[in-house]
Amino acid sequence: MLNLNNHEIEFAKDILLFDLFIQTSDRTHMKPNLLTDGIKVYPIDHEISFGFTLELAFARNPEPWNIRQQDMSWINSNIHYLKLKGEKFNFTKLSDNLDGITNSFWNRAQQLIPQQWQGTRFNDVRQYLDQIIANKQTFISNLINLLS
């Protein structure tokens, strides 16, 4: 998916913002993990989503709403990042989506995911993402700077 048509570009923007939020570090040119029908783009195979869970707890970003310099290597390798950098993004949509990640969302997620996926990793993901959501405006400001 080297070239995006006008239909695909909006989906690609949303996927990039989602990847930055959950730290999907393996959506690269070598492994784009995307399908398209020429209109919509569908992300698949989130093999390394929640990449922060692969780091030792003490090495994780203590302020995950801020993008660290060391995160730039996986961000720069994202299949969409360099292509979309400088494009206009809809951060209102992102903000609204983040507002939807409430206790009800987490409770429903916990009901739906297999029991073996729960436990400490589920809690790690929830706590980490909840920190970003609690600092949503700063996170979005950082994304604006990153993508401008």
DSSP labels, 82-99:
HHHTTS---HHHHHHHHH
Average predicted confidence (pLDDT) for the chain? 93
Q: Measuring CA to CA, which residue among 42, 56, 45, 71 is closest to residue 132?
A: 71
Q: What is the pLDDT of residues 54-97, one digit of tens each?
A: 999 899 999 999 999 999 999 999 999 999 999 999 999 999 99
Alpha-carbon span 105 to 73, nearest angstrom: 31
Q: How far is CA 71 from CA 51, 76, 132, in A?
A: 10, 9, 15
* Mean pLDDT on 137-145: 98
Please report which confidence band the pLDDT of residue 2 belongs to, taking 50, 70 and 90 as the band edges.
Answer: low
